[in-house]
Amino acid sequence: MASPPPYGRVWNFSAGPSVLPVSVLEEVQRDLLNYGGTGMSVMEMSHRSKDYDKIITGAEATLRRVLDIPSNYSVLFMQGGGTGEFAAAYLNLFASKAVREKQRQLGRPLSCDYLVTGTWSKGGMKEVRRLGGHPRVVFDGVGEASYTGVPPVNEWRLGKPEETAFVYYCDNETVHGVELPPDAVVDAVDPSVPVICDMSSNMLSRPINIGRFGAIIAGAQKNMGPAGVTLVIVRRDLLERDDDSSDAVRNLPSVLDWSYFDSTGSMPHTPPTFTIYVCGLVFKWAEEQGIRELERRREARAKLVYDEIDAHPEFFRGRVDRAYRSRMNLVFNLPTPELEAQFLAEAARRNMVQLKGHRSLGGIRVSLYNAMPQEGAETIVAFMREFYANNR
């Protein structure tokens, strides 16, 4: 097996909060007590200071370069996690000038199209329904709510463009291990309808054509930094309001208001300063690696594990259709729950942790985010081979 990580660390396959680049952690450690000669930690620094302004504006500028974000898109550092953005996406779109005008022309409430590929897209749809919206189910899994892939496009039940406020989907489902191919959804949706995408668990793992989306939301705690920040990249025309006295605006809490955050540089109140600082360091690390190189690494790591799963499908029982298997969260079961418990225990004794599947599904989940080195994937594959040989 490969050498263990430095500093007595383990191979951390957590689905989130996830492993961070060691070089970033080392820089955080060096700056923790005295950031840049200021005599204080970033955790102690005023968010209104010039030093912190450089941190947050630098983080945004770096991310814009890494993802080639067009100038007509705003980048926001929000709180509330992906779950908060379930509500924020719906509330902000229905407060926007463009959607309100379309609704006036229709003469009745617009629908919201939801592609349900697993737990998180289903959660987003439930939130809209709870808030009194009108979600339309484009599809809910394959067959009878089996979250193992995506049905053919000709089976999707997309609404008419003139009746639809937006289309929402989750690009990578961390629980079920389903990931959509690039552009699969935007290719199928009429360009007049904004596409809202949750990219929490595969952001920064491959290039994205940002300009084809209305908005992208992403929790930081998978590929971008610690928990506590949710990134929103939103097309600026969707932030325009025509009537600030409307119910749609008055019912939008300030803490979820994209337009409000945009007007204040993501700081209408004290932001999670330390988390944004760490995210900025991760963005710099990603820029140094290069987004194409990060994509190459993600494919290589995932291929190692999937090749082992495919070599013994009767033992390592993958759940997801090959065309939609996640490169970030690789899920499978073993023949019995007892073998799964044994697998987890033996892996932990060898410093491989956080491999237990989500509580709703069980099984094994190997999460391979950007900061997981190739050696980590090689280590888990070597263990899988040995475990198979001893227990088949």
Residue 392 identity? R
What is residue 4's predicted lDDT score, i.e. its pLDDT? 74
CB 340 within 8 A of CB 154: no
Model pTM?
0.95
In this prediction, residue 145 has a pLDDT band, given cuts at 50, 70 and 90, of: low
Question: In this structure, are 252 and 304 located in the same domain?
Answer: no
CB atoms within 10 A of CB 295: 17
CATH of the domain at 105: 3.40.640.10
Beta strands 329-333 and 317-318, pairing class: antiparallel
Say which DSSP state 352 is in: E
Q: Is the domain of 387 the same as that of 264?
A: no
Whole-angstrom distance between the N-terminal and C-terminal Cα of the chain? 21
Structural element, H or E, at residue 287:
helix 273-289
User: Do 282 and 326 lie in a common domain?
Assistant: no
Neighbour count for residue 158 (Cβ, 10 Å):
18
> For residue 170, what is the enclosing H or E element?
strand 164-170
Is 356 catalytic? The answer is: no
The answer to whether residues 55 and 147 belong to one domain is: yes
In a domain, 380, yes or no: yes
Q: Identify whether residues 257 and 382 lie together within a single domain.
A: no
**What is the rounded CA–CA span in Å between residue 325 and residue 296?**
16
CB 292 within 8 A of CB 69: no
Query: Is 187 marked active-site?
Result: no
Quote the CA–CA distance of 313 and 55 in Å, as a whole number: 48
Q: Residue 242's pLDDT is what?
A: 80
| Structural domain boundaries, residue 358 | 11-18+290-391
Which listed residue (102, 222, 284, 356) is catalytic? 222
Catalytic, 285? Answer no
Report pLDDT digits (tens) over 317-329. Answer: 999 999 999 999 9
Domain for residue 3, yes or no?
Answer: no
Q: Based on the domain organization, do 283 and 323 belong to the same domain?
A: no
Q: Are residues 120 and 153 in the same domain?
A: yes
Asked whether residue 281 is assigned to any structural domain, the reply reads yes
In a domain, 351, yes or no: yes
Options 113, 171, 198, 257, the catalytic residue: 198
Residues 242 and 302 occupy one common structural domain: no
In a domain, 2, yes or no: no
- 313 domain residue, yes or no: yes
Q: How confident is the model at residue 334 (pLDDT cuts 50, 70, 90)?
A: very high
- Asked if 164 and 261 sit in the same domain, the reply is yes
Q: Please tell me which residue in 11, 102, 113, 120 is annotated as part of the active site.
A: 120
Rounded Cα–Cα distance for residues 91 and 252 (Å):
6
Task: Give, for 158, the enclosing helix (H) or strand (E).
Answer: none
Residue of 63, 93, 348 lying closest to 223 (CA atoms): 63
- Asked, for residue 23, whether it belongs to a domain, the answer is no
Average pLDDT over residues 276-283: 98
**Is 197 found in the same domain as 85?**
yes
Q: What is the pLDDT of residue 245?
A: 63
354 and 282 in a common domain: no
Q: Length of the chain in residues, anyone?
A: 392
How many angstroms separate the Cα of 103 from the Cα of each of 95, 98, 243, 353?
11, 9, 14, 50
Task: From 125, 19, 91, 140, select the one nearest 261 (Cα to Cα).
Answer: 91
How many domains, in total, are found in the chain?
Answer: 2
| CATH number of the domain encompassing residue 327 | 3.90.1150.10
Going 347 to 392 to 299 to 60, the CA torsion angle's sign is negative
- Asked if residue 32 is part of any domain, the answer here is no
Strand order across the beta sheet in which 329-333 lies: 317-318, 329-333, 364-367
Q: Are 213 and 345 contained in the same domain?
A: no
Is the pLDDT at 306 greater than 90? The verdict is yes
Per-residue tokens: 298: 């993600």
